[in-house]
Amino acid sequence: MREMKLWGSLCLLMVLLLVPQAAAAAERVPLRIARLPVQVRCNTADVEAVKRMEIRLDQIMHVPLNGTLQAVKEIPGAQVAAAMDEVLSQLRQTHQRVKWQDAMKPLADKLQADLVVCPVLRGYEQRTEQNWSWKHMPQLHSYVAMDIVGYDRSHDETFHKSGCRYFDDEYSPNGLAANLSLECLDELAASADLHNRVNAWHKLQLQ
């Protein structure tokens, strides 16, 4: 009985703490994020590897307690993709060659987004070669090339970060292209400062 009363008191305390935060959330202006899915621009990309990259981006851009605080609002993916198609179509009418970064600010304007994030997978290769010496493992050759392109309205900044990873050695799980792609994504996300771009707005809204 005593444990039940204690548990009830803890639940009540949590409710009392969350109610003011939920009320305050209604007064805040959430950061509107337009995030495109990984744009695959190579024929040899692994579907599961791309899914893992999407999950990693979720983790990088995660805002704690956003369900309650409503500090960030992610624009639905289908709406972002449709808007991107329209922006690219318009740009191609006046530009012979359209770069990813050319579309970021127009896309942000079209969707009234504060932050646009577009990951691009440019290269993805992996092959093994048998090493005929019994002393050695097969040789693994892997290569990944990526970009993260985006727009940050708070700084009126279009950003573009590029990177690649190679592995050319005896077989090792660390050298698999799927793992190289996550390493490359982590480095580019850090270079683009994605986590802080999202969480700086979150902290500002809590003040």
pLDDT for position 202:
55
Q: What does the pLDDT average to over 19-42?
A: 75
Q: Is 118 exposed, middle or buried (0-12, 13-18, 19+ CB in 10 A)?
A: buried
Residues 177, 166 contacting (CB under 8 angstroms): no
Judged against a pLDDT cut of 50, whether residue 7 lies above it is answered with: yes
Q: What does the pLDDT average to over 135-160?
A: 93
Rounded Cα gap, residues 142 and 119, in angstroms = 20
Angle between the N-to-C axes of helices 177-192 and 47-60, in degrees from 0 to 180, rounded to the nearest 10: 30
Residues 63, 199 contacting (CB under 8 angstroms): yes
Rounded Cα gap, residues 182 and 52, in angstroms = 8
Residues 194, 117 contacting (CB under 8 angstroms): yes
133/195: higher pLDDT: 195
Residues 195, 189 contacting (CB under 8 angstroms): yes
pTM of the model: 0.80
Angle between the N-to-C axes of helices 177-192 and 194-206, in degrees from 0 to 180, rounded to the nearest 10: 50
pLDDT for position 203:
60
pLDDT confidence bin for 173, thresholds 50/70/90: very high
